[in-house]
Each structure stands twice: as structure tokens, then as C-alpha cells.
Amino acid sequence: MIHTKRTIVLGLQPTVYGTPEKGWPVTAPNADEVNRIFRSAPFIVDLGLQLDSLEPGACTSVLLLEPRHLQQDGFVHAGVQATVADHTAGAAAATLVSPAQIVLTAEFKINFLRAAKGERLICRSKVLKPGTQLSVVESEVFCIASGTEHLVSKATATVAIVTPRGG
Amino acid sequence: MIHTKRTIVLGLQPTVYGTPEKGWPVTAPNADEVNRIFRSAPFIVDLGLQLDSLEPGACTSVLLLEPRHLQQDGFVHAGVQATVADHTAGAAAATLVSPAQIVLTAEFKINFLRAAKGERLICRSKVLKPGTQLSVVESEVFCIASGTEHLVSKATATVAIVTPRGG
Amino acid sequence: MIHTKRTIVLGLQPTVYGTPEKGWPVTAPNADEVNRIFRSAPFIVDLGLQLDSLEPGACTSVLLLEPRHLQQDGFVHAGVQATVADHTAGAAAATLVSPAQIVLTAEFKINFLRAAKGERLICRSKVLKPGTQLSVVESEVFCIASGTEHLVSKATATVAIVTPRGG
Amino acid sequence: MIHTKRTIVLGLQPTVYGTPEKGWPVTAPNADEVNRIFRSAPFIVDLGLQLDSLEPGACTSVLLLEPRHLQQDGFVHAGVQATVADHTAGAAAATLVSPAQIVLTAEFKINFLRAAKGERLICRSKVLKPGTQLSVVESEVFCIASGTEHLVSKATATVAIVTPRGG
């Protein structure tokens, strides 16, 4: 397996998220915070996870799979799936908070349903129950292999809504 | 924030895990499989997670934190912590399986207890209940900041023990 | 609060589950095992949980709420909701196993979305991913208050499929 | 199996919890709220769960097992174990809140480690991380069979700390 060298310089990518076809940058509710979540999180930029679409209480993201995303047996690592599920859940919750607030994952649980192998992950997250202090969000992670989409994991996250002091 | 360029060539690091002081390579039970788990999982090598110590039913790993491991507010990304907790749990479970078997995470749940900021993560995983088909493993993730260790997250994982066909 | 006296004699109820209108006893796939699960589980009979409907990979149950189902602040106890979610999930999984097999919950996670108060709980469980050793099932618990249905909790369960020795 | 008839009249038991040997009623921190949680929760009184001991951030409860606590194969029902784990976790969290506050379970996850069969359940709950809005609590449920104690399930609960309006 050849591991490709990557050079990532944060902040220089004009469009790390979205696609021109979809009319990005996002102008959905609280889009600034969601854009910030995808653009300013180094681990997410490094992973290659991109914001795909956004609506109130929902977010979809996409990850083009590379060899570096795999575990020892050639499947997408559980940690990659968990990261995608968690981050997209946070973004879905962030569409419903006020501008002065940020979101932090309090906990999540994820079930791995099938060994994931393919070209792309798509994560669809949806707020199951919005709250003022806690929102509960579900994330479904699909793997696209040869054009067919399979649900590979599903997560439920409890997201805390926090008003930073001094912020 | 400066994001350092990384060049990773799998298989060329003579000691991606352990330390000479600890007498590695590992000779603990099923060490071959655990070494394989840490050495041959591209996502884990890429992340920088290293095997630190091993005993029957337990595993400890270490991650030197870099800016690329953070989320948008400067804390260690939940996905990084989840990856570390999951992978080390799998390694702990792998110490108790037979050579022909591999481990796969069926599900895990993780609670984030404090915002994680510091120089290093240490993950200590322990099998709570070994089984022939499923093992239940707990992972505690600590963050070391200025020499002080804080528990930042705790996970419980259900690990499936699988005998690959033809393997 | 008045706590009504209950006298329950297992096995004497001619129809502890289902309703004549729905054509019970159940004749859906593996209905014998599902009927057994609802009829022969003392805790379930005692609680008052009744099987409502059944199809391959899915089960619905109903609980008429009584004062004894509440916690200290007048809401349906989390343990009641968890029991209903777990048991109905097991029944949904049982519709897909072979006659010689039984189901046992390996783990579940449940989120409580709203304080539950009303006349009735309805639980709808559906197998998200069937397996030969493990099935993943989701349960949604609704509370009916004054004719309106609210989702009060949602659970994800990992159900082990076991072939009893000597059975 | 004979199911014993139970007559429960709330509020008439002078000591539904604790034992004289242990010097109850409880005088530990916030004991009033914990006593209320065990005494005024009809589902808990009905189940037979009793408060055993209490200290800041920790609670132990006991359940004498009866046939009515079992599932269809003669084991303690997962819902009984979940109820015990949840309720004792809430009590442990309640030892650390102020008198005007109440606790509500936001979510929990429980792993069932062994089929539970025996005379008694003991649940030991401990706050892993106290918080002002959320506390994370762990509960270990043990089953005592012929004098030997086995860990049968383990739960992690996120408990919300709420200040009731008008209270």
C-alpha cells in the first residue's frame, strides 16, 4: 500500500467545503458557525471531510476515501467513521443555536453495521430533539462502493450548547 | 496556527511503537496481532498513535498532540479521542484472542468529560469481560498538560471476535 | 397517589398480548418465540407491556400507564422506558432468528428526549441491521397524552443471537 | 413458576430503604433528595429497590430478587438491571446538587456481561465527573448467587441537573 504525501496549509484552500453547483458558501441558518466548524477544525481539514449541504437541524458531509483512512484489514477505520459522525452531528446541532453559542459533544454512541470499503463516505446528520442546553442528533454514515450506497454505521450524539464566557 | 507538513511512508519506521526502555518489540500474549494492529493500520500510523505497553487483557497507547489533532476551538477533536479509545480497546481485546482470529469494533460509546488541551494523550484500555464472540472493553483517555494528567474521556466498546474465512 | 393492588397469575391470562381486532395470536414469522417473549417473561407481564403488532424485523408494543410506572416527579420512570425499549427490540430481532435460537440483549443505549407524562406508551422497534450473531435494533418510545403522540425516548440495542446448548 | 401477589401502599412503609444497622435515615450530603428519590418513586418502591448506603458522589442500592424480576429464560430482565443502574446513578448524582435542584437522566448505555441469576442485585454507582449542568455517573450491577458476587452489567449515565421553575 502506498501512502500518498499530503501537504496541507490551513486557510489557503478557497473551497475546502461544498461545491460551486450547490451555491456555497452556505447561507443557511447559522451558516457562519457551521462553516467555521468545517474550515477551522484542523483535524477535519486534515481528514479531508467536506461540508456538502445544510438545512435547519440537518447537515450532510462527504469524505473521499484514501488509503490513509483505513485500518489494518483494509476497511475504513472505526475512528474515521466516528469522527465523521460526530463532527457532522455537531454541525447539524449548530444550525439551531444562536450566534453567541458554540457546540461541544457531550457523548456519542456508534454502531458499526458492516465493514466499510469503497470510494466515499457520506454522513447525514439530523437533530432528533433540539434543546437549549442539549440537543440529541443522529448520524448515518454511508459508504459508496461502485455506485452503491450502504449504511455502514449509525451514531447518536448528545451535543452540549455552550455560551463561552467573555465571548 | 501552523500546520506541519507530514511525510509518512508506511513500513519504514523501525519502531513506530513502544520504546527501547520497555523492551519492545512486544512479546506479551498475542503480541504479533497487536503489533500488526498498530503498525499496519494506516489511519493509526497517520494519526501518530503509538503502542506503549501491553499485558493480557490490557493495552496502553500514547499520542503526542499536534495542532492537526484539534477542533475549531483549540481542543483535541472528539474524533481523535474516539479513535484512540477505540483502537486501544481493540488492541486490549486482541491480547486475548487466538492467532487465527481478528477483532472488529461492533459499537462503542464515549463520554467527553473535560475540554482536552495539552501535550499528550494517554489511553488505558482494559477488558471488562472477555468472551469468545464478544469482549467488552473500557478505555480511559487522559490528557497531560504541564505534567498533570486529567481524565478527558471514557469509552465502553463491544468488540467482535471474528475468524476470517479462508484465513 | 393511590397505588392499585395487582394480582397477577402467570399463564392464566387468555390474551395478555394483542387484541382480537388485530387477529392475534400472532402468526407472523417466528411468532411462537415472540409470543413466548411477551407471555413468559414475568417482569414484562408484571409491568403490563403488551405485544401490539409484529412483522419481519419489526415489533410494536403498548403499555397502559399507571401510577406505579412513575418516578419521584410524576414522569414515567426511565427504567420503564428502557425496559419497554429493550424488550420490544428483542422481540423485533426474534422475528428474524431460527426456531432453535434465542435472543439476549448485549447492550443498549437510550436517550430521554422529553419528560414523559400521559396515558400510554407505544414502542416501535425495527431491526436496523440483522446478523447471524448480532442484530442492531432501534426502538422509539412514544407517549400518548390527550390523544397526541410524542417521541419521548429512543434506544439502540445490540442483540446477541444465541443457540442454547442442549436446546 | 409462582408469582406472588403484592400489595403496595406507598408511604406506609416506615423504612423502605436502608437498614437500622447502617444508621439510616441517611444524613449524608443532600440525603433528603436521595431519600425522596428512593421513597417517592412508585416504580422503584414497586420494584423493591432499596437504598443501601450513600456518600458524596456515590450510592449503593440493593434489590432482593423475586420471580417477577425475571425474563423468559429465567434470568434477571435487562430492564430490571437498567432500572437499578439508572436510578442508583441518579441518586449518586443527587448527592452533589444543591437543594433546589433535581436530577433527570439524559441518556445511559448499559452492557450486559453475564446472564444474571441469583438472590440479590447490588448496584454501586459513582460520579465519574460532576458538573453544574451534567454529571457523568457509572453504575456497576452485581448479582449475588450462593454468596458469590458477579459483575453482571455496567452502565454509564449522563444525568442532567435541573432547577425546576417555580421551585
Mean pLDDT of D46-68: 96
User: Mean pLDDT score of chain B, rounded to an integer?
Assistant: 84
Q: C114 CB near a chain B CB, below 8 Å? A: no
Q: Which string of b and e fits D39-55 if b means at least 16 CB within 10 Å?
A: bbbbbbbbbbbbbbbbe
Which residues on D lie below 8 Å from B113 (Cβ)?
Answer: 128-129, 136
What torsion do the CA atoms of D12, D18, D21, D25 make, to the nearest 10 degrees?
-70
Mean pLDDT of C138-161: 97
CA distance B114 to chain A (A): 9
Check residue B6 and report its DSSP letter: B
Best mutation target, A101, A105, A107, to test chain D (most D CBs within 10 A): A107
Q: C156 CB near a chain A CB, below 8 Å? A: yes
Q: Is the pLDDT of residue A167 over 90?
A: no
Q: What angle do CA B79, B153, B41 make, to 5 degrees?
A: 45
Does C82 contact D79 at a Cβ distance shorter than 8 Å?
Answer: yes
User: What is the band of D57 on the pLDDT scale with cuts at 50, 70, 90?
Assistant: very high
Find cell 403488532 and name the residue: C53
Helix, strand or coil for residue D125? Answer: strand
Among A33-37, A146-150, B18-22, B129-133, where is mean pLDDT lowest? B18-22
> What are the backbone dihedrals phi and psi of residue A27, each rounded to the nearest 5 degrees, phi first?
-120, 15
User: Model confidence over A135-151: pLDDT tens digits?
Assistant: 999 999 999 999 999 99
CA distance C41 to chain D (A): 4
Kindly list the domain boundaries of chain C, sorted by start residue.
5-162
Measured between CA atoms, the residue of chain A closest to residue D131 is A106
Among A25-34, C11-20, C81-90, where is mean pLDDT lowest? C11-20
Q: Which residues contact B75 (CB under 8 A, 6 or more apart)?
A: B115, B116, B117
Query: Quick one: pLDDT at residue D3?
Result: 36
In angstroms, the Cα distances linking B163 to B102, B104, B105, C160 are 6, 11, 14, 17
What torsion do the CA atoms of D139, D140, D141, D147 make, to the nearest 10 degrees?
-140
Helix, strand or coil for residue C145? Answer: strand
Query: Quick one: pLDDT at residue A153?
Result: 98
Query: Quick one: pLDDT at residue C136?
Result: 98
Query: Quick one: pLDDT at residue A166?
Result: 61
Find cell 440483522 and name the residue: C130
Which residues on A lie below 8 Å from D136 (Cβ)?
Answer: 107
User: What is the band of B10 on the pLDDT scale with cuts at 50, 70, 90?
Assistant: very low
Which residues on A lie below 8 Å from D101 (Cβ)?
Answer: none
Residue A143 CA, chain-centre distance (Å), reads 14
Specify which of A30-34, A69-73, D119-123, D159-163 reaches the highest per-range mean pLDDT.
Answer: D119-123
Residues of chain A with pLDDT > 70, as a percent, come to 81
> CATH homologous superfamily for D5-162?
Hotdog Thioesterase (3.10.129.10)
Q: What residues 64-93 of chain B have any CB closer than 8 A to a CB of chain D?
A: none
User: Model confidence over D1-53: pLDDT tens digits?
Assistant: 333 333 222 222 222 233 334 443 444 567 788 888 899 999 999 999 999 99
Q: B128 CB near a chain C CB, below 8 Å? A: no
Which residues on D lie below 8 Å from A107 (Cβ)?
Answer: 107, 136, 158
Residue C29 neighbours by CB distance under 10 Å:
16
**Please, which chains are in contact with A (at least 3 CB pairs closer than 8 A)?**
B, C, D
Q: Is the pLDDT of residue C36 over 90?
A: no
Peptide bond into D164 cis (omega under 30): no
Q: Is the pLDDT of residue A68 over 90?
A: yes
Best mutation target, B105, B129, B141, to test chain D (most D CBs within 10 A): B129
Does C109 contact A114 at a Cβ distance shorter than 8 Å?
Answer: no
User: What is the band of B26 on the pLDDT scale with cuts at 50, 70, 90?
Assistant: very low
Which residues on A lie below 8 Å from B6 (Cβ)?
Answer: 6
Q: Distance (Å, rounded) from C-alpha A43 to C-alpha B78?
A: 10
Q: Is the pLDDT of residue A13 over 70?
A: no
Given strand D58-64, what is the order of strands in its sheet?
A: C50-55, C58-64, C120-129, C134-145, C148-162, C102-112, D102-112, D148-162, D134-145, D120-129, D58-64, D50-55
Q: Are B119 and B64 in contact (CB under 8 A)?
A: yes
> What are the backbone dihedrals phi and psi of residue A133, each rounded to the nearest 5 degrees, phi first?
-110, -35
User: How many contacts, defined by CB atoms under 8 Å, are there between A and C?
Assistant: 32
**Please, which chains are in contact with D (at least 3 CB pairs closer than 8 A)?**
A, B, C
Query: Quick one: pLDDT at residue B29?
Result: 61
Query: Quick one: pLDDT at residue D5?
Result: 31
Among candidate residues D114, D81, D121, D103, the one with its CA nearest the CA of residue D37: D103
Q: Are C136 and C129 in contact (CB under 8 A)?
A: yes
pTM (2 d.p.): 0.85
Q: Is the pLDDT of residue C35 over 50?
A: yes
Query: Quick one: pLDDT at residue B77?
Result: 98
Does A158 contact D160 at a Cβ distance shorter than 8 Å?
Answer: no
CA distance B124 to chain A (A): 17
For A73, which of B7, B77, B102 is closest by C-beta distance? Answer: B102
Query: Quick one: pLDDT at residue B34?
Result: 87
Q: B122 CB near a chain D CB, below 8 Å? A: no
User: Model confidence over C87-146: pLDDT tens digits?
Assistant: 999 999 999 998 888 999 999 999 999 999 999 999 999 999 999 999 999 999 999 999
More reliable by pLDDT, D21 or C73: C73
Query: Quick one: pLDDT at residue C29?
Result: 61
Cell of A61: 458531509
Q: Are D43 and C69 in contact (CB under 8 A)?
A: yes
User: Model confidence over B81-98: pLDDT tens digits?
Assistant: 999 999 999 999 999 998
More reliable by pLDDT, A74 or D29: A74
Which residues on A lie below 8 Å from C143 (Cβ)?
Answer: none
CA distance D66 to chain B (A): 26
Mean pLDDT of C84-89: 98
User: What is the band of A33 on the pLDDT scale with cuts at 50, 70, 90?
Assistant: confident
Mean pLDDT of D54-65: 96
User: Model confidence over B52-75: pLDDT tens digits?
Assistant: 999 999 999 999 999 999 998 899
- For residue D109, the number of C-alpha atoms closer than 13 Å in the C-beta half-sphere is 29
Q: Distance (Å, rounded) from C-alpha D137 to C-alpha D158?
A: 6
- For residue D11, the number of C-alpha atoms closer than 13 Å in the C-beta half-sphere is 5
H/E element, D138: strand D134-145
User: Model confidence over B102-149: pLDDT tens digits?
Assistant: 999 999 999 999 999 999 999 999 999 999 999 999 999 999 999 999
Among A9-18, A69-78, D16-25, where is mean pLDDT lowest? A9-18
Q: Which residues contact A49 (CB under 8 A, 6 or more apart)?
A: A38, A61, A62, A63, A83, A84, A87, A88
Residues of chain D with pLDDT > 90, as a percent, come to 71
Does A108 contact B78 at a Cβ distance shorter than 8 Å?
Answer: yes
Query: Quick one: pLDDT at residue D28?
Result: 53
User: Model confidence over D96-105: pLDDT tens digits?
Assistant: 998 888 999 9
Q: Distance (Å, rounded) from C-alpha C67 to C-alpha C19?
A: 24
Q: Are B65 and B118 in contact (CB under 8 A)?
A: yes
Does D156 contact B111 at a Cβ distance shorter than 8 Å?
Answer: yes
CA distance B132 to chain A (A): 19
Q: Is the pLDDT of residue C22 over 80?
A: no
Query: Quick one: pLDDT at residue C115?
Result: 95
Q: D42 CB near a chain C CB, below 8 Å? A: yes
User: Mean pLDDT score of chain C, rounded to an integer?
Assistant: 84
Q: Which residues contact C62 (CB under 8 A, 6 or more apart)?
A: C49, C50, C52, C120, C121, C122, C123
In angstroms, the Cα distances linking D151 to C41, D81, D116, D139 are 22, 11, 9, 11
Does A128 contact C111 at a Cβ distance shorter than 8 Å?
Answer: yes
DSSP string, C70-130: B-TTSSBPHHHHHHHHHHHHHHHHHTTS-TT-EEEEEEEEEEE-S---SSEEEEEEEEEE-
Find cell 440529541 and name the residue: A136
Query: Quick one: pLDDT at residue B68?
Result: 98
Among candidate residues B102, B56, B86, the one with its CA nearest the CA of residue B156: B86
Q: Distance (Å, rounded) from C-alpha A134 to C-alpha C28?
A: 40
Residue A74 neighbours by CB distance under 10 Å:
13
Measured between CA atoms, the residue of chain A closest to residue C140 is A128
**Please, which chains are in contact with C (at least 3 CB pairs closer than 8 A)?**
A, B, D
**Please, which chains are in contact with B (at least 3 CB pairs closer than 8 A)?**
A, C, D
User: Model confidence over C9-21: pLDDT tens digits?
Assistant: 222 222 223 333 4
Mean pLDDT of B36-51: 95
Which residues on A lie below 8 Å from C151 (Cβ)?
Answer: 128-129
Which residues on A lie below 8 Å from C128 (Cβ)?
Answer: 111, 113, 151, 154
User: How many contacts, defined by CB atoms under 8 Å, are there between B and C?
Assistant: 17
User: What is the band of B39 on the pLDDT scale with cuts at 50, 70, 90?
Assistant: very high
Residue B50 neighbours by CB distance under 10 Å:
19
